[in-house]
Amino acid sequence: MQYSIIYAVIRPEISERVSLGLIFVDGDKVDVRYSPQKLDAVRSLFPPKEYEFLSQVVSSMPTDDSINSVEAINYLTRYSNNLIAVSPLQNIDIAPTEQSKVRLFKNYIYEAKVTSATK
């Protein structure tokens, strides 16, 4: 299994960022999850228009058909708009079970409610 972290970039000049979600890749399956609580928590850190854009992009990722392959995720890793960043894919030697995904989400993102969709 591979994973990538979705970040909100708070201050790009010093690489300050907040982790908002994870992208899991298992073969041809892509599973995107984010924390609505953390997304809401960064609201006060951005001007309203930038937050609206950030929120729309992150909340649409679980259902966005353009994030459906390793190539698409690698593209997002290279593309940065100073609001959203995606880390390079990392390989992890664990079974891609729901339990392992929840554990990774709790470790890297947030421990509460998760919004997800498998593609």
> What is the model's pTM?
0.86
Q: Is 92 helix (H, G, I), strand (E, B) or coil?
A: coil
Summarised one tens digit per residue, pLDDT across range 61-119 is 888 877 888 888 888 888 766 889 999 999 999 998 999 999 999 999 987 655 555 55
Residues near 98 by beta carbon (within 8 Å), at least 6 away in sequence? none
Q: Is 47 helix (H, G, I), strand (E, B) or coil?
A: coil
Exposed/middle/buried for residue 95 (C-beta within 10 Å: 0-12, 13-18, 19+) = exposed
What is the span of the domain harbouring residue 90? 2-118
CA distance 67 to 45: 26
Residue-level pLDDT at 28: 85
Residue 8 near residue 84 (C-beta atoms within 8 A): yes
HSE (CB half, 13 Å, CA atoms) of 51? 12
Q: What tokens were used for 103?
A: 């554990």
- Average pLDDT of the residues of the chain: 88
Count of domains in the chain? Answer: 1
Q: Is 98 helix (H, G, I), strand (E, B) or coil?
A: helix
